[in-house]
Amino acid sequence: MTDSIPSTTDPVALLQALIACPSVTPEEGGAIALLDRVLGAAGFETHTLVFSEPGTPDVTNFFARIGTGAPHLMFAGHTDVVPPGDVSQWTKGPFEGSIVDGEIIGRGAVDMKGGIAAFVAAALDYLASGQPQGTISLLITGDEEGPAINGTPKLLDWAMARGEKFTAAIVGEPTNPAALGDAIKVGRRGSLSGTVTVRGKQGHVAYPHLAVNPVPQLARLVAAVSAERLDSGNERFQPSNLEFVSVDVGNPAFNVIPAEARARFNIRFNDQWNRDSLDAWLRAQLASAAGNEVDWSLTLETPSSDSFLTHDAKLIKTLSSAIEAVTGRTPDLSTGGGTSDARFIKNVCPVVEFGLVGQTMHQINERVAVADVLQLTQIYKRFLADFLVGNA
Ligand SMILES: [Zn+2]
């Protein structure tokens, strides 16, 4: 960890310093302490918050704010990173932040210390120029790549309890598939996992008339449910999709008909569904495939996450315009991909996600072009000026 505070409006130096903090989830690694020093020195009110819960690791989180009144923009992100994997495969140390051929290499370069560095530099630039208006907050967790229990949900509860009123939020996750400016995420599909269990009657394979084999029965249910389409998608969302991810019997013997068989599945669903309607749909499908002779049950996991779509036209338009002005690209308004902490933030204010190019995230030699970090900083700065001062 570096003791010198990098030049605060230089996002590249800040990103290198953040990468040098080995904050593999759930370790703080010095990353939040570094943000505390940089933002504290710039006049932000800062709070470092450790949340804990039995059975889960303690997590260090961070909240910083500056300014007064509305509009109040929240920038949300995470300083924790996934493990580097086989370090010998990296061309440069994963916690060095080296620059090679115009790219910064290191774990977290795009997911998402690069987004944080760009936003901090943009915010400090914005505050230094002219007469800033409104309020800027940073809500940073160290628990996005982990269980996400002692992170964003508790940080939001804390912020709401102290009376923060957010107008809108940007999550700085890497949203662009190929080039900076490709896509803003304006929503996400929901996720629901569950298990179908079929109970038979255990017995000797040589005496099948004395047993009931749950394996072919379960196979029939899996095939029937897999063959059904949930919907065909809509203007903003891909079709909802159910995937069976495992079939488990746990029977090591060849001469025993097992008593029970289970199949686990996950559904990624659009805004035409919620947990209750999926529960009803699944039960109807299973009942019709099972008939009377199959003894089946369905359990759904908690928590599940609902889908959401951001309807704040000003937020989306202001960000799109800033992206177009800096990159020349018109971003797609996307709802694809996995889940993020935006699923929690959407409960307190409209939220969109925009950050770097995601191609190398979680990989060996995760890296980002220096030019992309500088352009993302310009995009965020332009957005702040337009959104907070109201030039949009
Ligand atoms: Zn991330």
The residue ranges of every structural domain in the chain are 11-188+307-389, 190-300
Task: Tell me what the mean pLDDT of segment 267-296 comes to.
Answer: 96
The span from the CA of 328 to the CA of 213, in Å, is 62
Percent of the chain with pLDDT over 70: 97
pLDDT at 148: 78
Task: Tell me what the mean pLDDT of segment 269-277 comes to.
Answer: 95
The span from the CA of 348 to the CA of 376, in Å, is 25
> What is the average pLDDT score of the chain?
94
Ligand 1 centroid – CA 362 distance (Å): 9
Q: What is the pLDDT of residues 238-272, one digit of tens each?
A: 999 999 999 999 999 999 999 999 999 999 999 99
Domains 11-188+307-389 and 190-300 share a fold: no
Cis status, amide bond into 303, omega within 30 of 0: yes
pLDDT at 94: 98
More confident residue, 59 or 147: 59
- Ranges 175-184, 305-314, 337-346, 365-374: which has the least confidence: 337-346
Q: What is the pLDDT of residues 93-105, one digit of tens each?
A: 999 999 999 999 9
Task: Tell me what the mean pLDDT of segment 80-94 comes to.
Answer: 96
Ligand 1 centroid – CA 78 distance (Å): 7
Ligand 1 centroid – CA 173 distance (Å): 5
Give the bridge partners for 204, in sequence order.
256
pLDDT at 306: 87
Instruction: State whether CATH 2.60.40.10 applies to domain 11-188+307-389.
Output: no
**Counting beta carbons within 10 angstroms of the beta carbon of residue 171, is it exposed (0 to 12), middle (13 to 18) or buried (19 or more)?**
buried
Cα–Cα distance list, 50 to 233, 253, 340 (Å) = 41, 49, 21
pLDDT at 199: 98
Ligand 1 centroid – CA 111 distance (Å): 5
Encoded amino acid at 210, one letter: L
The span from the CA of 195 to the CA of 174, in Å, is 32
CATH number given to 190-300: 3.30.70.360
pLDDT at 185: 96
Encoded amino acid at 100, one letter: V
Q: What is the pLDDT of residues 338-360, one digit of tens each?
A: 778 899 999 999 999 999 999 99
Ligand 1 centroid – CA 145 distance (Å): 7
Q: What is the 3-state secondary structure (H, E, C) of the chain?
A: CCCCCCCCCCHHHHHHHHHCCCCECCCCCCHHHHHHHHHHHCCCEEEEEEEEECCEEEEEEEEEEEECCCCEEEEEEECCECCCCCHHHCCCCCCCCCEECCEEECCCCCCCHHHHHHHHHHHHHHHHCCCCCCEEEEEEECCCCCCCCCCHHHHHHHHHHCCCCCCEEEECCCCECCCCCCEEECEECEEEEEEEEEECECEECCCHHHCECHHHHHHHHHHHHHHCCCCCCCCCCCCCEEEEEEEECCCCCCCEECCEEEEEEEEEECCCCCHHHHHHHHHHHHHHHHCCCCEEEEEECCCCECCEECCCHHHHHHHHHHHHHHHCCCCEEECCCCCCCHHHHCCCCCEEECCCECCCCCCCCCEEEHHHHHHHHHHHHHHHHHHHHCCC
Task: Tell me what the mean pLDDT of segment 365-372 comes to.
Answer: 98
Ligand 1 centroid – CA 80 distance (Å): 8
Roughly what angle, to the nearest 10 degrees, separates helices 113-128 and 31-41? Answer: 10
Roughly what angle, to the nearest 10 degrees, separates helices 370-389 and 11-19? Answer: 110
Give the bridge partners for 261, in sequence order.
198
Ligand 1 centroid – CA 285 distance (Å): 36
Task: Tell me what the mean pLDDT of segment 129-139 comes to.
Answer: 91
Is pTM beyond 0.85 here?
yes
Does pLDDT of 176 surpass 50? Answer: yes
Cα–Cα distance list, 21 to 84, 88, 111, 343 (Å) = 13, 19, 14, 27
Does pLDDT of 109 surpass 50? Answer: yes
Task: Tell me what the mean pLDDT of segment 279-290 comes to.
Answer: 97
Q: Which residues are catalytic?
A: 80, 144
Ligand 1 centroid – CA 271 distance (Å): 23
pLDDT at 302: 83
pLDDT confidence bin for 2, thresholds 50/70/90:
very low
More confident residue, 276 or 304: 276
Does pLDDT of 1 surpass 50? Answer: no
Encoded amino acid at 91, one letter: T
pLDDT confidence bin for 392, thresholds 50/70/90:
very low
Ligand 1 centroid – CA 251 distance (Å): 39
Ligand 1 centroid – CA 340 distance (Å): 7
CB within 8 Å of 157: residues ≥ 6 apart: none
Task: Tell me what the mean pLDDT of segment 217-229 comes to.
Answer: 97
Ligand 1 centroid – CA 117 distance (Å): 14
Ligand 1 centroid – CA 358 distance (Å): 9
Nearest to 170 by CA among 43, 33, 319, 41: 319
Ligand 1 centroid – CA 254 distance (Å): 45
pLDDT at 6: 58
Q: What's the token pair of residue 29? A: 């690694």
